[in-house]
Amino acid sequence: MRKLFPAITLLFAFLCPSLSFSAVDKKTAADIDRETEKIAAEMVKIRRLIHMDPQLPGREQETAKIVAARLAALGFEVKTGVARGGIVGLLRGAQPGPIVALRADMDAVPIQELADVPFRSVNGGVMHAHGHDIHVAVALGSAYVLNALRDRMKGGVKFIFQPGPDPASEDPESGAAQMIREGVLENPPVAVIFGFHVWPDTLGQVFSSPGSILAASDSFEILVKGRSAQASHPQDGVDAIVLAAQIVNALQSIISRTIEPTDPALLTIGRIEGGTQSDLLADRVRLTGIFRTLNDTTRRKIQRLMEAAVKGTTQAFGGDYSLAFKQSIPAVSNHPELYASMLPVLNSVLSDRPLQRLAPQMMADDFSFYGRKIPSLFFLLGVRNPRLSTAPLESPYFNPDERSIAIGIKIISQIILDCLEQQSRLADSSQIVK
């Protein structure tokens, strides 16, 4: 049976302060550069193909077909249909060792693209405004490069191409949570996982930090229940719209008056629906929104205070309510020892622009689910070229510099090879299991 290093071996290495990672040798780095240049133009073509045909979460079948075909052509072990539409490609190195993973998300968002590019989305109202097309191209390119260098790989790599949550579901589950539930981190077990996201900042600049870097996100729905009456006789009813207005103010006060100013948190009501006609008091109002935090203590506190605020407001005016917390995504938190181990590698490959410490951001990413299971490292990759666009993420004008694809490939390929190489040096025969 094939020899594998257990995940605990790799984790042990990270927890030993005397051990650290160093950048791969100069020859390997040069080989990565050479292999990247070979396939860079092809990865740009693939990115544009995916960009022109974006698919919403739960509908990424066409993108998945492109990915699966490319991985199969490389000779990877390919699993399709994971978590409905996800793809997993396994590259085994020439020598035994641990398995590390790379996650790339594939879904687009419901935005009408307005960027003036020849490969603009042909799917009305759908766009890769999050840059997930770049993610796919970088992951595929890394698969090509690492496959070309597999003879010096000690271990293997799982390439995880992840779908978004299925919006048709009453309670859509995170794509990452689904893939984990379906065993993406097992058979063979994954010791460490890497992930990244494009970022509208200087091209090629990388941002990361140890600990929490992206927020936890909780969505909620509040149904305010009043009693309808004619507007001319308001005393006969309970106006759900007035109650909803009071609730909105009360919820905003939670953030401004009960949370430490140095503890970042936000709460947003994104949608309000209610009322049937102008001369009737509304008997139902639905509010939906999100709140975001960086730690579980604050997260639980906000949930408690929201319940109390909604209950107190509605009951004070004779109404009623229901409050449901729907989808929850934990904060993305980099494993401190893994971050410290990979820092020399990142600074080596980014020699002209060393890694920048990232202040915690209030955006969310379900990559966090992987980090709850195994050591993980996540970074942001700058893709902005002011001559092309300065638009932020989720803008209809978002237009990342495609040179970021080659940069991302080099970074990913080097940190993965370095991770495998350094771990193999730490392992001895007693740490290998059959």
Question: pLDDT class for 22, splitting at 50, 70, 90?
Answer: low
Please work out, in degrees rounded to the nearest 5, the angle formed at the alpha carbon of residue 228 by the alpha carbons of 224 and 229: 145
Distances (CA, A) of 333 to 174, 218, 370, 379: 17, 16, 10, 11
pLDDT digit string, tens, across residues 213-270 = 999 999 999 999 999 999 999 999 999 999 999 999 999 999 999 999 999 999 999 9
Domain spans of the chain, in order of start: 7-213+331-431, 216-329
What burial class does residue 117 get, using C-beta atoms within 10 Å of its C-beta: 0-12 exposed, 13-18 middle, 19+ buried? middle
Do the two domains 7-213+331-431 and 216-329 of this chain adopt the same fold? Answer: no
Share of the chain above pLDDT 70, in %: 91
Question: pLDDT class for 169, splitting at 50, 70, 90?
Answer: low
Look up residue 429 and give its DSSP letter.
G
> Which tokens belong to 302?
């906000």
Nearest to 208 by CA among 219, 220, 194: 194
pLDDT digit string, tens, across residues 188-229 = 999 999 999 999 999 999 999 999 999 999 999 999 999 999
The whole-number pLDDT of residue 422 equals 76
Share of the chain above pLDDT 90, in %: 85
Look up residue 431 and give its DSSP letter.
G
Nearest to 344 by CA among 336, 352, 334, 354: 354
**Residue 420: pLDDT over 80:** yes
The whole-number pLDDT of residue 364 equals 95
The whole-number pLDDT of residue 165 equals 87
**Residue 19: pLDDT over 50:** no
Q: 3-state DSSP call for residue 19?
A: coil
Residues 396 and 112 sit within 8 Å (Cβ to Cβ): yes
Q: Average pLDDT, whole number, for the chain?
A: 91
**Residue 17: pLDDT over 60:** no
Q: 3-state DSSP call for residue 286?
A: strand
Q: Which fold has domain 7-213+331-431?
A: Aminopeptidase (3.40.630)
Query: In the predicted model, what is the mean pLDDT of residues 93-106?
Result: 96
Q: What is the distance of C-alpha 390 from the center of its chain?
A: 22
The model's pTM: 0.91
> Which tokens belong to 324?
């449901």
CATH of domain 216-329: 3.30.70.360
Q: 3-state DSSP call for residue 298?
A: helix
Q: Which of 9-13, 66-70, 75-79 has the lowest mean pLDDT?
A: 9-13
The whole-number pLDDT of residue 170 equals 59
The whole-number pLDDT of residue 427 equals 59
- DSSP H or E segment with residue 112: none
pLDDT digit string, tens, across residues 146-167 = 999 999 999 999 999 999 987 7
